[in-house]
């Protein structure tokens, strides 16, 4: 069988790259690379992929079971539990009302965070709003976020449930007309701040880093809307690698962005900001771009780090009060449940100490057949967790394994590591929930930026 035939089989039977990766032992990046013809699998790898697909199809057809459950049954281990999907914000709130954890200082801080009361709150709109991480941070700082634009349906539902006063102004930003933007001004009056960050997959190492990715050009619509509204300040967030990405002409995207906003009368600066430096128990390195109207007297100064060295918050700070879970188990919290992992993967990882990878096992039989030593790797309790990506539930992902339990991190552990309070309602399909969490701006980081913007440009107005 050729790899082209394997790809046709995978596509025909709707077997995802992630599923094929999980059951074959190869990484999603390897499979993606083969399918994009960036590299070619060996004959041995092709045979293994062919056998894996055949096994998946036979098990699903004859037994009505997926390969994961069958492996667990054959191992003599109990079946994992699969929680029912959360279907509404009301259901989430009702289920969370009965959950009482002994909170840590960090979770108590998040759960008791309230909106700062300002006499004359700056008025803002959010572009590429996602589920609302940046909006939440700006609201905590006292800003009034009037409306938002977001194309992701699941993210919009979560956003609207948590920010009912914010109006959905559009979905596809490329189809928001200039006339509609002028209508926002007629509706809301002056808008002081625009916040948001266009999708990062075109720039991220987790993506394909394709200079022709259409998403890389979405900032042009951000620029267009800023030029019409003329806010005092705008804020954009993206992955750090955006600053080194070039377009097909060899020009740096960050220079194109800065030159574009300079041309319409904005002074633009950017800085790398890591979430762990601002009280978030996660190593998440991002570039923040801030533009200010040239009529403003002062250039923007980024906030200084508040939680370096001994003040840094750790994964333990975020999750130590949560019930211990192993693969396939759940708790009363609708977001704190563990994915059921294949028995052979659990065998690879069960004796791996925190901070180490299954690739480092002394016994070669207990090492994954492919990947790098950043995969199948445990987090460290007393350090910030790694970047929460959209695939944090994949035990084969980059540093996604719990420090001591043999499983990937749960959705609740991810929301706390992103600095969302437990009261923030996440609902819908599990894949959608994970995606919007992984794409979100940590609210505490957004608040640090919002506080500094208010102090520098709006405080004297009160």
220: part of which helix (H) or strand (E)? helix 219-229
Closest CA to 334 of 117, 92, 106: 92
CB-CB contact of 445 with 278 (8 Å): yes
Closest CA to 446 of 164, 135, 192: 135
Half-sphere CA count of 280, side-chain side, radius 13 A:
32
Listing DSSP states for 187-204 in one string gives HH----EEEE----TTT-
CB-CB contact of 434 with 392 (8 Å): yes
Report the C-alpha gap between 221 and 212 in whole angstroms.
17
Give the angle subtended at the CA of 237 by the CAs of 285 and 374, to the nearest 5°.
30
Return the DSSP state at 99: -
What is the set of active-site residues?
A: 200
Listing DSSP states for 223-273 in one string gives HHHHHHH--SEEEEEEEGGGGG-B-TTS-BHHHHHHHHHHTTTEEEEEEEE
Residue for token pair 């894996």: 52
CA dist 309 → 104, 204, 271, 448 (Å): 20, 27, 20, 18
Closest CA to 319 of 393, 395, 396, 405: 405
Length reported for the chain: 462
């Amino acid at each position: 069988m050729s790899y082209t035939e394997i790809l046709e089989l995978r596509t025909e039977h709707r077997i995802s790259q992630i599923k094929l990766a999980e059951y074959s032992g190869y990484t999603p990046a390897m499979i993606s690379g083969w399918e994009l013809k960036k590299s070619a699998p060996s004959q041995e790898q092709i045979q293994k992929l062919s056998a894996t697909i055949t096994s998946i199809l036979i098990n699903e057809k004859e037994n009505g079971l997926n390969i994961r459950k069958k492996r667990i049954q054959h191992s003599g281990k109990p079946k994992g539990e699969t929680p029912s999907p959360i279907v509404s914000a009301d259901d989430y709130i009702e289920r969370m009302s009965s959950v009482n954890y002994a909170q840590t200082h960090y979770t108590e801080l998040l759960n008791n965070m309230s909106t700062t009361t300002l006499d004359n709150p700056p008025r803002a709109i959010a572009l590429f709003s996602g589920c609302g991480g940046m909006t939440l941070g700006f609201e905590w700082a006292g800003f009034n976020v009037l409306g938002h634009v977001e194309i992701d349906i699941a993210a919009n539902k979560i956003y609207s449930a948590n920010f009912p006063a914010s109006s959905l102004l559009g979905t596809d930003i490329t189809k928001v007309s200039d006339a509609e933007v002028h209508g926002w001004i007629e509706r809301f009056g002056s808008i002081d701040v625009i916040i948001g960050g266009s999708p990062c997959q075109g720039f991220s190492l987790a993506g394909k880093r394709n200079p022709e990715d259409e998403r890389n050009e979405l900032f042009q619509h951000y620029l267009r809307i800023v030029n019409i509204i003329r806010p005092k300040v705008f804020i954009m967030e993206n992955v750090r690698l955006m600053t080194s990405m070039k377009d097909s002409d060899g020009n740096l995207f960050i220079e194109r962005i800065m030159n574009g906003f300079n041309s319409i009368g904005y002074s633009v600066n950017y800085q790398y900001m890591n979430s762990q430096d601002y009280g978030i128990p996660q190593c998440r390195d991002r570039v923040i771009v801030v533009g200010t109207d040239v009529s403003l007297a002062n250039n923007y100064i980024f906030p200084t780090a508040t939680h370096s060295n001994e003040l840094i918050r750790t994964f333990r700070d975020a999750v130590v009060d949560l019930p211990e879970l192993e693969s396939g188990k759940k708790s009363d919290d609708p977001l704190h449940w563990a994915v059921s992992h294949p028995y052979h993967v659990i065998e690879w990882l069960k004796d791996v100490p925190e901070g180490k990878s299954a690739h480092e096992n002394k016994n070669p039989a207990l090492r994954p057949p492919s990947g790098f030593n950043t995969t199948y790797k445990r987090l460290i309790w007393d350090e910030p967790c790694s970047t929460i990506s959209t695939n944090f539930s994949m035990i084969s992902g980059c540093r996604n394994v719990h420090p001591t339990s043999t499983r990937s991190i749960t959705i609740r552990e991810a929301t706390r590591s992103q600095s969302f309070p437990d009261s923030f309602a996440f609902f819908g399909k599990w894949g959608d929930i994970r995606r919007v969490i992984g794409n979100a701006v940590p609210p505490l980081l957004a608040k640090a930026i919002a506080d500094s913007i208010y102090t520098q440009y709006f405080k004297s107005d009160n």
